[in-house]
């Protein structure tokens, strides 16, 4: 999607009006088959952030790019409403912070939430979170094995939200 927007900007000669096209992403780590893999996941799936001066036909050209449905705004099909500077700083700050650290993200889990085990001997089992240890990035999960509830201690990376 980002490429579509950038190509249309180049074709239309709008480089002077559109200064930045961004899809904010975060790195997510998981364990698959005993190996730690990282994937990029969009913060706001389906949204592209565009920094632009909407003079003349710029908004019309952006709206008519393939796969663009419209702009976020007060009314459907209306004029786009710009993000406040503090919102932009927060989004860009989070992107920069994640790029700099390259560390695992704290995956927010909630006690009582149902999860699916994706690694280890209990791969494929579903369970309910009983205890969360943020420090060690571990969960105590109750899994039903042979009809009996059994507590397991699993890493954040060994489970995914249901």
Indicate the pLDDT class of residue 147, thresholds 50, 70 and 90.
confident
Whether residue 117 contacts residue 127, with contact meaning beta carbons closer than 8 Å, is answered with yes
How confident is the model over 114-123, as pLDDT tens digits?
999 888 888 8
How confident is the model over 62-78, as pLDDT tens digits?
888 887 888 877 677 77
Judge if 136 and 59 occupy the same domain: no
Question: What value does the mean pLDDT take over residues 147-152?
Answer: 91
Last residue of a domain, one of 101, 133, 152: 101
Last residue of a domain, one of 101, 122, 152: 101
The residue segments making up the domain with residue 146 are 114-161
Indicate the pLDDT class of residue 99, thresholds 50, 70 and 90.
low
Judge if 64 and 87 occupy the same domain: yes
The answer to the question of residue 108 being in a domain is: no
The answer to the question of residue 109 being in a domain is: no
Is the pLDDT confidence value at 40 over 70?
yes
pLDDT of residue 129: 92
Phi, psi of 53, rounded to the nearest 5 degrees: -100, 115
Only one residue has tokens 């209990």, namely 122
CA distance 96 to 118: 29
Residue 95 Ramachandran class (φ > 0 left, ψ -120 to 50 alpha, else beta): alpha
Domains held by the chain: number: 2
Only one residue has tokens 């699993």, namely 154
Classified as helix, coil or strand, 7 is helix
CATH of the domain at 21: 3.30.70.940
Reference 153, options 137, 136, 141, 135; nearest CA is: 141
Query: What's the pTM value of the predicted model, to 2 decimals?
Result: 0.51
């Amino acid at each position: 999607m980002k490429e579509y927007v950038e190509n249309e900007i180049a074709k239309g000669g709008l480089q002077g009006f559109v200064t930045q096209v961004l899809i904010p992403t975060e790195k997510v780590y998981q364990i698959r088959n005993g190996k730690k893999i990282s994937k990029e996941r969009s913060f706001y799936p389906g949204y592209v952030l565009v920094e632009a001066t909407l003079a003349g036909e710029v908004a019309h050209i952006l709206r008519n790019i393939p796969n663009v449905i419209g702009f976020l705004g007060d009314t459907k099909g209306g004029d786009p409403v710009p993000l406040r500077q503090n919102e932009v700083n927060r989004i860009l700050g989070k992107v920069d912070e994640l790029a700099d650290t390259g560390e695992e993200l704290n995956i927010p889990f909630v006690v009582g939430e149902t999860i699916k085990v994706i690694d280890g001997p209990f791969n494929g089992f579903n369970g309910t979170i009983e205890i969360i240890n943020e420090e060690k990035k571990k969960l105590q999960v109750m899994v039903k094995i042979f009809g009996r509830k059994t507590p397991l201690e699993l890493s954040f990376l060994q489970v995914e939200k249901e």
